[in-house]
């Protein structure tokens, strides 16, 4: 499958990358559209020391569930979905009080998992647990 990789300051390459494998208790989303946010633009123009290159940017995306082996999460194949790109740990002081955006170990799909300007993305291991990961998928 193809992915757009940031390879350096003002350098992007379209490359073949491995197709993601269906994770246990998760699903595969075929990305149909991906937005470029201000952080993506800044990384392109100036670089960003918090990511290792090459890097697949784009954490704001929507698509269709292509495969699923998690019947209990409620997203059947063919369902149109988007995701919340912020992935809290679910266990820290703030998460336990419903304040996930203040999470002590907040992860952002593009910044810490390096996935989304991909044609397909796996979803379950993006969070600290598969329950947290799939919780942040929303039907459209």
CATH 2.60.120.10 corresponds to the domain 2-139:
no
Residue 92: C-alpha distances to residues 100, 133, 135 (Å): 9, 16, 17
Q: pTM, whole model, 2 decimals? A: 0.70
In terms of pLDDT, which residue wins out, 114 or 59?
Answer: 59
**pLDDT at residue 27 tops 70:** yes
Mean residue pLDDT of the chain comes to 75
For residue 137, which of 67, 63, 78 has the smallest C-alpha distance? 63
In terms of pLDDT, which residue wins out, 28 or 71?
Answer: 28
Average of per-residue pLDDT across 65-79: 80
Residues 6+ apart with CB under 8 A from 99: none
In tens, the pLDDT along 73-128 reads 778 889 888 877 777 888 899 989 989 889 998 877 654 444 444 445 544 443 33
């Amino acid at each position: 499958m193809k992915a757009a990789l940031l390879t350096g300051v003002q350098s992007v390459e379209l490359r073949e990358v491995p197709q993601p494998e269906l994770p246990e208790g998760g699903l595969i989303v075929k990305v149909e559209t991906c937005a470029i946010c201000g952080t993506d633009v800044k990384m392109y123009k100036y670089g960003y020391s918090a990511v290792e290159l090459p890097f697949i940017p784009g954490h704001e995306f929507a698509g269709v569930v292509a495969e699923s082996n998690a019947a209990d999460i409620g997203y059947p194949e063919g369902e149109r979905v988007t995701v919340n790109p912020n992935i809290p740990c679910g266990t820290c002081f703030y998460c336990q009080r419903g304040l996930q955006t203040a999470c002590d170990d907040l992860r952002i799909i593009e910044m810490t998992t390096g996935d989304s300007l991909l044609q397909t993305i796996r979803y379950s291991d993006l969070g600290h647990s598969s329950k947290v990961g799939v919780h942040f998928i929303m039907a459209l």
